[in-house]
Structure 1
Amino acid sequence: MEWLSLVLFAAVCATLLLGYPVALTLAGVSLIFAGIGALLGVFDANYLLTAPSRLFGIVSNTTLIAVPLFVFMGVVLERSKIAEDLLVAMSSVLGRFRSGLGVSVILVGMLLAASTGIVGATVVTMGLLSLPTMLKRGYSPELATGTICATGTLGQIIPPSIALVLLGDVLSSAYQKAQLDMGIFSPESVSVGDLFVGAIIPGLILVVCYLLYLWGVSRFSPSQVPSEGQKNEHASLGSLLLALLPPLLLIVAVLGSILFGFATPTEAAGVGAVGALLLAGIKRQLNSANINYVVQETTKVTCMVFLILIGASIFSLVFRGFGGETLLKEFFTSLPGGVFTAMLLVMVVMFLLGFILDFIEITFVVVPIVAPILIMMGVDPIWLGIMIAVNLQTSFLTPPFGFALFYLRGVASDLVRTEQIYKGVIPFILIQLGVLVALAVWPQIVTWLPHTIYK
């Protein structure tokens, strides 16, 4: 009766499309199927006896403590107006050059992504700050909206990313399970720090590709870019460095402590949270209203993540109880083309699921099922994690259901039409797909730095 596991997965997706909460859908539909299966004698209810210990393991997982800390850091930086000051200073210096404002948006978005790690926060912040100015300066709506959406999704891949924290925890469990299934007892594992290091080069490649595309547009399609830059007599490199120094110091403190082994990702997240509070205090933004907002938003996001993780854990137990993992393992190993075909199929399915599910649901529901199988087939877990992150980043941009498009649509003025947003992101989707193909052809782009640092 292994086919019932596929029916369970389809029922969960269908229920989600009806608009029911993700966490409750995962747990509720799974328990209903488990009850029906137990009555029919095709499901062993003893699988659910391990649920309490699994759920306790989730809420006591020290790695996942990094999630609320990174969320806290991101929301504090969002409220302290650091991005606003940085964008003003950088556009004042670079605005004298053609497409200088667009370059400023990409660079500030990169720093904001590395500071907050939250896609929605980056897209909304950059949309509110830069979209009206870009349109006023003469940028085409397509180029302006596409640049902002694509830059906002960098929070998915550039560390410290919440997506990489969650992926690191899931892949660590998947790696250990794959090792045990193969009869290998090794102390080696996959850490969040490994994914952080592996994501540095792909993230920088994406930023460089965005900048090259912007230069190409200004060169070969000048009608989309202002004919002259905005000159500012009061612009100075000193003001730029003054605005650039605080977020850079925070990024170096967080990532540097991880890269050089001074702190675990959870400890580094604590450093980032304290650093964000210090920066907000220096900018005199640490008032009671902002603190209340930060605490509420952090609590909401943290509760959402852990509730989804609990629901996904119950779904995973029931899915395995119906023999779904065995069914998928047999299916993947029987595919012509071996690892290549299996990996391609997983990437396509995750890309399509990215239209209807957030990265949190995909990370907790899909990755625990397919990752152990792919790792047993010889796939490097660090490379797999970065491929998943870049893939989901691309799906968040793809019309008509890309989440980044919805975020920008919510803050864009009525002067920008939805179809213009859709057209604007297409070149950036092609860029990200090109980078994804490059990572597939040359996995060393991902694996070289982690293996060099931690060998």
Structure 2
Amino acid sequence: MEYLSLLMFVFVCCVLLTGYPVALALSGTALLFSLIGYLLGVFEPAFLYALPSRIFGILHNQTLLAVPLFVFMGITLERSKVAEDLLTSISQLFSRFRGGLAFAVILVGAMLAASTGIVGATVVTMGLLSLPAMLKQKYSPSLACGTICAVGTLGQIIPPSIALVLLGDVISNAYQQSQLKQGIFSPETVSVGDLFVGAIGPGILLVLLYVVYILFTAWRNPEAMPKFEINDDQPKPTTVELIKALVAPLSLIFVVLGSILFGFATPTEAAGVGAFGAMILAAMKKQLFSQLAYTGQSSVRVTSMVFLILIGASIFSLVFRGLGGEELIHSLFDNLPGGVFTACLLVMLIIFLLGFILDFIEITFVVVPIVAPVLLSMGLDPIWLGIMIALNLQTSFLTPPFGFALFYLRGVAPSTIKTPDIYKGVMPFIAIQLGVLIILAIWPGLSTWLPAQVYQP
């Protein structure tokens, strides 16, 4: 009756497609199938006895404490107009060159990703500020929309990333499970800091490939991004103005990521420093007290949603394991031709396809805990696997029809922008992300070399 666990997985995916709240869908489905399994005599209720300790562990997890802090930092920066000043200065600097405005959008988006880590805030901010300017310069609507959506998703892979924090906790638990199953009792584990450092190389590569694509398009299809007509009434920003715009985000990036890279702070401690630094920047722009209520409420709302989903996912994973789902997945992977390569390829394909219909949080908390322990027990590097999954999850924000970045941009784009324009624009960037995924699969050292240098004894 192990196949009852797969039926539960399919059922919860169908419930999620109805738009029912994720946390309630996960926990409700799990409890329903636990009852069915109990009546059929294939589920032992003792599995549910572990639920209180699971919930207690979630609420006292020091790693997950970084989630509300990073969320607060990102929302504070977005509301304090730091992004607006940065985009205005850099776009004026580069917009006089063909493709320069698109390049400015990529550069600013990467800096916002490294300072906020929130996809929605980046896409909405860039959509409101840069999309009208790109359309005014007669950029192709699909190219403009695709660039903004793709740049917005950089917050998924460039640290500090909420996705990496959540994924790091899941991968760490999966790694410990795989070690115990192999009879290895080692205190070593995988930290969020490992994933942060490991994501730097792939994140930089992704930004560079975005720039290469823009330069290639400017050369191959110049009418898609006409050269800006110079107007003497719009002078270039002065060096002082540019430095002022760059100092705020760069200093915050250096403090947050630098403290992790140099071993001065854990990701959770760095998140606290980042949140405090964001408050200082907001106070310098006289936006702190006017926006404090909004940022506080928004942070609580997002954090509550994440933790409620995590509790629902814990119930789901307990019941899934009680129905024999983990053993079934393990046996299926062991019997696949091609061994670990085929198993990894199948998992990445499943995550990519689920990205069309599910959010990254749902995939992280539902799918990854099921497949990660099995893959890690096959000998895969946990940091490499975590970055591979993170890159794959990044595409879930771009893949139609339910890509969240597409929805965010659709909500702020003018009525002249058609939805097919947005879908068409993101296709080349989806191909680029899949290309980086293949590169990382061929050269895993792209994600594992730097953590080995930073954390070597």
TM-score after normalising by structure 2:
0.98
Aligned to 1:34: 34
Q: Please report how far the alpha carbon of residue 229 of structure 1 lies from its aligned counterpart in structure 2 after TM superposition.
A: 5.4
Question: Offset at 1:238?
Answer: 2.3
**How many residues are matched?**
454
Segment drifting more, 353-362 vs 55-64: 353-362
Q: Which amino acid counterpart does residue 350 of structure 2 have in structure 1?
A: V
Structure 2: how far apart are the matches of 1:168 and 1:208? Answer: 25
1:234-263 deviation line (CA, Å, top 9, x unaligned): 422321111001100001000011111111
Consecutive unaligned residues in structure 1, runs of 5 or more: none
Is contact 2:106-2:207 (8 Å) kept? yes
Contact 2:102–2:214 (8 Å) recurs in 1: yes
Question: Does the 8 Å contact 2:95/2:228 carry over to 1?
Answer: no
1:86–1:108 contact (8 Å) kept in structure 2: yes
Q: Larger deviation: 91-100 or 101-110?
A: 91-100
Q: SS of the counterpart of 1:227? A: coil
Question: Following TM superposition, by how much is the alpha carbon of 1:379 offset from its aligned partner in structure 2, in angstroms?
Answer: 0.8
User: Who is 2:269 aligned against?
Assistant: 267
Q: Which residue of 1 aligns with 2:225?
A: 225
Correspondence list, 1:325-344, <5 A: 325-344=326-345
Q: Are the aligned partners of 1:100 and 1:229 in contact in 2 as well (CA < 8 Å)? A: no
Match of 2:51 in 1: 51
Deviations 1:119-140 (A, max 9, x none): 1111111101100110001111
- What's the counterpart of residue 149 of structure 1? 149
Q: Check whether the contact 2:384–2:448 (CA below 8 A) recurs between aligned residues.
A: yes
Post-superposition CA distance 1:53-108 (Å, at most 9, x none): 11100011011000000000000000000000001111111122221111111111
Instruction: Between 296-305 and 393-402, report the one with greater CA deviation.
Output: 393-402
What is the rounded CA distance, in whole Å, between the counterparts of 2:84 and 2:339 in structure 1?
Answer: 49
1:360-375 to 2 correspondence within 5 Å? 360-375=361-376
8 Å Cα contact 1:354-1:396 kept in structure 2: yes
What is the distance in 2 between the residues matched to 1:414 and 1:397? 20
Contact 1:137 1:226 in 2 (8 A): yes
Between the aligned partners of 1:175 and 1:286, the Cα distance in structure 2 is 41
| Structure-2 separation of matches of 1:376 and 1:411 | 45
Contact map agreement 1:166 1:363 (CA 8 A) in 2: yes
Q: Map Cα deviations across residues 257-282 of structure 1 (whole Å, 9 max, x no partner).
A: 11111111100000000000000000
Counterpart residue identity of residue 173, structure 1: N
- CA positional deviation for 1:454: 1.0
How far residue 308 of structure 1 moved from its aligned partner, in angstroms, is 0.2
Q: Which ranges of structure 2 fall in alignment gaps of 5 or more residues?
A: none
Of 292-301 and 38-47, deviating more is: 38-47
One-letter code aligned to 2:83: A
Per the alignment, in what secondary structure is the counterpart of residue 117 of structure 1?
coil
The superposition leaves residues 393-421 of structure 1 with CA deviations (integer Å, 9 ceiling, x where unpaired) of: 12321222222111111110111111111
Deviation at 1:41, TM superposition (A): 1.3
Q: Does 1:426 align with 2:446?
A: no
The aligned runs of 1:368-407 (5 Å cut-off) are: 368-407=369-408
2:71 paired residue number: 71
Instruction: Find the aligned partners of 1:187 and 1:347 in 2 and give their Cα distance.
Output: 29
Asked whether the 8 Å contact 1:98–1:229 carries over to 2, the reply is: no
Structure 1 counterpart of 2:308, which letter?
Answer: L
- What is the alpha-carbon distance in structure 1 between the residues aligned to residue 196 and residue 287 of structure 2? 30
For the aligned residue pairs, the C-alpha RMSD in angstroms reads: 1.0
Describe the shift of the 1:366–1:107 C-alpha distance in structure 2 as closer, same or farther (beyond 3 A): same
CA distance in structure 2 between the partners assigned to 1:229 and 1:432 by the alignment: 33
CA distance in 2, matches of 1:101, 1:121: 20
Deviating above 3 A after TM superposition, structure 1's stretches of 4 or more consecutive aligned residues are 228-232
Corresponding residue for residue 214 of structure 2: 214
Q: How far is the alpha carbon of 1:230 from its aligned partner?
A: 4.5
What secondary structure does 1:183 align onto? Answer: coil
Equivalent in the alignment of 1:300: 301
Provide the residue aligned with 1:115 in structure 2: 115
SS of 2:402 mapped into structure 1: coil
Separation (CA, whole Å) in 1 of partners of 2:389 and 2:317:
19
Deviation sequence 1:310-335 (CA, Å, 0-9, x none): 00000000000000000000000110
Structure 1 residue 178 and structure 2 residue 174: aligned? no
In 1, are the aligned partners of 2:358 and 2:402 still within 8 Å (CA)?
A: no
- Quick one: percent identity of the two aligned structures? 67
In 2, Cα distance between equivalents of 1:280 and 1:82: 8
CA distance in 1, matches of 2:208, 2:87: 18
The 2-side partners of 1:185 and 1:334 are apart by: 27
Distance 1:394 1:11 in 2: 24
Matched, 1:291 2:318: no
State the match for 1:447 in structure 2: 448
Contact 2:202 2:446 in 1 (8 A): yes
Give the counterpart of 2:248 among 243, 246, 252.
Answer: 246
User: In the aligned structure 2, how far is the partner of 1:429 from the partner of 1:129?
Assistant: 23
One-letter code aligned to 1:253 = V
2:358–2:396: 8 Å Cα contact kept in structure 1?
no
CA distance, structure 2, for counterparts of residue 180 and residue 121 of structure 1: 40
Does the Cα contact within 8 Å between 2:93 and 2:236 map onto a contact in 1? no
User: How far 1:391 sits from its partner (Å)?
Assistant: 0.7
